Amino acid sequence: MQSALDPGGHEAREVASLFWVMLAGAGLVWSAVMGLAVYATRIRPDPHEEKVGHRLILWGGVAFPVVVLAGLLLYGLPLMTTLREPGEGLRIDVSGEQFWFRVTYRPKDGAPVASANEIRMPVGERVEFALTAPDVIHSFWIPSLGGKVDMIPGRENRLVLKAERPGSYRGVCAEFCGASHALMAFTVVAMEKPDFDAWLARQSAPPIEDAGAATGKELFVNNGCGACHRVSGTEAKGEVGPDLTRFGERGTVGAGLLPNTRDNVVRFIRETDALKPRVKMPAYPALSIEDTAAIAAYLGSLK
Ligand code: CUA
């Protein structure tokens, strides 16, 4: 789901009602001004009608818009403080990078947990997002959960969001950041609090991999994938690209690009630059299809 007018959270609901109130206000001003414009085309040059015309310009063209716009301002201003209330415990660092999202959960007690391109959060809790970027300006936007906030190199912007119902919400990069800007998305999974706590607690242990995926694991490590990607509990300790520790749990491959199926992972490894222009990961067409499929099977088994 990705719509600012279909709110799934507190902040998004405030933004959606602000939109409707603004639309009503704008409709009122528009109708008044258009009505007067039509009236003006019919006015005749006689002293009485000119006097009426002047009065209408003063009241309809100046006083009425001032009152309506001031009303909208007074309605909108307090929102700025309600949308700036602090979070309640869980903090999630998100870094926008060309062209994916680095995610680090920082629970109040417990070690940080690394992930990418998918964010899980508990329903009913104000979660604080710390947003930054290492390369260029990106923007973090989950339309159904709240307003967008820029991710700026050298700065840390804060955004607090509260999901009110469980579900899957689509987030996007909302600032042009290069050739694959439009292919930079993520999924937010809002879970009931006990489910989320259990999920987060599981993250500190290395992922469970299929016994049958041993070949893929060896290929993954020996072909240098680990120079850029990390899989907790293995030799792969790279920090440049997305952490793949529980890749099999994610819904998409390539930051929202394709559904996470084995075939799509194979395609992504072999045609990276064609699927996602200017991405840092090189394509590996030289790897055989069988080897690539084994790597994809290994990654898909990580849960
Ligand atoms: Cu990142 Cu647009």
Residues 188 and 273 grouped into a single domain? no
Instruction: Give the neighbor-by-neighbor strand order of the sheet with 91-97.
Output: 113-116, 100-106, 91-97, 127-132, 157-161
Atom of ligand 1 nearest to the CA of 181: 2
In-domain check, residue 280: yes
75 and 121 housed in the same domain: no
- Written as six digits, the tokens of 213 are 């995926």
Atom index in ligand 1 nearest the CA of residue 176 equals: 2
CB of 279 closer than 6 A to ligand 1? no
Identify the domain boundary among 82, 99, 132.
82
Profile the chain (303 residues) by mean pLDDT over runs of 10 residues.
Answer: 85 90 90 85 79 82 87 88 78 96 91 94 94 97 93 95 94 96 96 94 83 88 90 91 94 94 95 93 92 94 91
What spacing in Å lies between the alpha carbon of 102 and ligand 1's midpoint? 13
Say yes or no: CB of residue 267 within 6 Å of ligand 1.
no
State whether 242 and 279 are in the same domain.
Answer: yes
190 Cβ inside 6 Å of ligand 1: no
Within a domain: 140: yes
CA pair distance 232, 230, nearest whole angstrom: 6
**Is residue 184 lining ligand 1, measured as CB closer than 6 Å?**
yes
Judgement on whether residues 71 and 128 belong to the same structural domain of the protein: no
Q: Are residues 216 and 282 in the same domain?
A: yes
| β-bridge partners, 106 | 91
CB-ligand 1 contact for 148 (6 Å cutoff): no
Residue 121 sits in a domain of what CATH number? 2.60.40.420
Range of the domain at 254: 211-301
Which residue has a Cα nearest atom 1 of ligand 1? 138
Q: Is residue 216 domain-shared with residue 258, that is, in the same domain?
A: yes
User: Do 62 and 126 lie in a common domain?
Assistant: no
| 4 within some domain | no
CB-ligand 1 contact for 151 (6 Å cutoff):
no
**The last residue of a domain, from among 82, 101, 124:** 82
Name the domain boundary from 160, 181, 202: 202
**Phi then psi for 21, rounded to 5 degrees?**
-65, -45
Note if the bond before 99 is cis, omega within 30 degrees: yes
What is the β-pairing status of strands 138-141 and 149-151? antiparallel
Residue 67 lies in a domain: yes
Specify the number of domains making up the chain: 3
CA–centroid distance, residue 149 to ligand 1 (Å): 12
- Report whether 110 contacts 204 (CB < 8 A): yes
1, part of any domain: no
Query: What was the pLDDT predicted at 79?
Result: 83
Residue 205: which residues within 8 A CB-CB, separation 6 or more? none
For the chain, the residue count is: 303
Residue 2 resides in a domain: no
Residues 116, 138 within the same domain? yes
| CA–CA gap between residue 73 and residue 67 (Å, rounded) | 10
